[in-house]
Structure 1
Amino acid sequence: MNASPSHRPHPAEWTETQSLLPSAERDLPAGRHQFHKEQMMARIHEDLRTSSRTSATSPAAPLKRSNPFLRRAILLPAAAFALAGAVVGGLALTGGDTDGGKTPLGTGPALTTQVGVADAKGAPRLLDRISLAAADTSAPTPHKGQYIYIASKVAGTYVKDDGGAKVVSSELHSRQVWNSLDGRDGWLIEAGETSDKGITLKSDVPFSGAYNALAKLPTDPDALLRRIYRASDAVRDPEVPRDQAAFVAIGDLLFESYPPAEVGAALYKAAAKIPGVVSVDDAVDATGRHGVAIARQNETDGERTEWIFDKKTLRFLGERVVVVKATGDSLLKVGTVTGTSAITERAVVDAAKQVPGQVS
């Protein structure tokens, strides 16, 4: 992948999986969003290194970093758990102008939503039900040589500073990503961020949410949570509370991934043991689907990370991060959605660039 090094990340580019780069290689802007920016810069450096290994025949166009969801496709060490945030719905998703209809630019109004009611007592019971649903083994088991295919819709709100800080949004657009089981290669097509044909994802270090890496995780919730805390502690910025980092780490392992049933169930049981986790009565994903949510608020920046599930089937729908508490130095008001995502399809396919139902 490639990214433009001249464009500095905006505050909505939330906590990311660490690439464990030397600290000297990181950009450390001052201010409340220092940690978010640091993580994005670490991803960018890995991104730039990855691009040098990308096939010379790849039809990729240079990628712009206006879209924070681009982060999820960069391949990183399996030892580093993803510390990602997510996003929200119930929005008026208006995008604004684009570059030739290809590049979502930050010109739309802020995405906003009604803040759902949080219930600390309801979280353990809901997570127990979600864990039981995740333990369903009817999904096909991938085999060597196959790829995990994830299709989604994403958008976001952030503070843009081009001579005067203002809150803007990027339009809702589609993503398709393919990752090999070992997490070392794949393919990404994202509207406005890659060419229509997409780009190669290839790295010497595996994607942390790769199937093989997830399959090696312990299925005992206590042992799994201890491992998550150790991994997130190793890369966590002091500005991010320890419990929040662990919660977000689990969330990223659940997003563009395909965990074995027993691991998925264990991840939800582990999340139930993190202090401060709540249930939310209503949340909406990027495509407008209403659901219930499991969430945790970051007291440092006032943003609540929510995992959204179908109210009946408890199937994972998507993620959102919404501002639930105003902070003095932020332009983002309560109810602002700093991004939104919705999983529209998740499947096992036989080759990169193959969509479900297509003969290889």
Structure 2
Amino acid sequence: MTNATTAAHVTSPYFARNQWYVAAYGTEIGRDLFTRTVCGESILFWRTGAGEVTAMADRCVHRRFPLSEKPSRLDGDTVVCGYHGFTYGADGVCVSVPGQKRVPRTARLATYAVKEQDSFVWVWIGDGDRADEGLIPRAPWLDSERYSTVYGMEPLAARYGLLVDNLLDLSHETYLHGGYIGTPEVAETPITTEVDDAAGVVHVSRHMDDAACPPFYAKSTGIEGRITRWQDIEYHAPCLYLLHSRIAPVGTPGPAADGSDPDAFHVEVVYAITPETEHTTHDFWAVARDFALGDEEVSAFLAQNNRTVVLQDVVALDRLETVIASEPEGTQELSINIDTGGLAARRILRRLVEEGAGTGTAAL
């Protein structure tokens, strides 16, 4: 983990600070300068010669030139600003300035705590002294040899709270994703919701004993006929969403007491919901499966179909963002039973925002 330098950042009353967020897949970051904005903060990422990920503010201290912009470059384990040549080490400290031997004491960039785990690169947004790696939620399937995984990321021109709402209420699959993952039973089946406010975790479950098998699962598993379909959501505020999916032909026995379940197919759907700005979001998605391991045809099918589903959400949420942004302040909305998980998540997010910033919160 890179040591974090405590520095003054522009604090928005919308983002939950002192939290871990997914900034990238590990495969995105190498020996090229890479930038991504997280919670309104533009961050520069790169790997040292030893392969460690480092993260620092993507602005030179001299004239604020973005270090990710060419002709800025890496020189060994230092970053050379392409505007005036200020040079920084992996710890953010400036080691060279043009035209003089003395380097100003204040010539240093804010650095961020980072942790590479489960195929993700996590970054701590907030007070670096409070960055506890033990707080990072796990998604171990993404780099497990017992699973095959496809993944991607789509930009969302909508506030991140809308994606949280979307993923915690899967009844929309019936209508928005029909022909891919949606069937009538998803919307018809009641949910159960459990909330751990202290841990910031929301559980939403929907178990369908007899449901149509959507193409997403029929073509990837080879199941013919109706299925038992379980959807068990585990949302770790503010960033990580896990959907534990169990699919089996109707009549298949459930999991054994020891947790083994050899007669069913299991899919772990993972979303990292990372705010970019107050009205844009990084929508990371991954699908891990415990069947057809290494089958490239199945992987290509799931990657294409899941990206199609994600893009259907993107179109809907981008449109919803424009509607909400144009509404008068105080406009009311109606909530029903299927919204219990999403409402609990909203409550937790508001608390995290208030605890992190010490201010009121904008609408999530």
TM (norm. structure 2) is 0.24
Of structures 1 and 2, the larger Rg is shown by: 2
Instruction: Give the structure, 1 or 2, with the largest relative contact order (CA under 8 Å, sep 6 or more).
Output: 1
Report the structure, 1 or 2, having the larger strand content: 2
Q: TM-score, normalised by structure 1?
A: 0.24
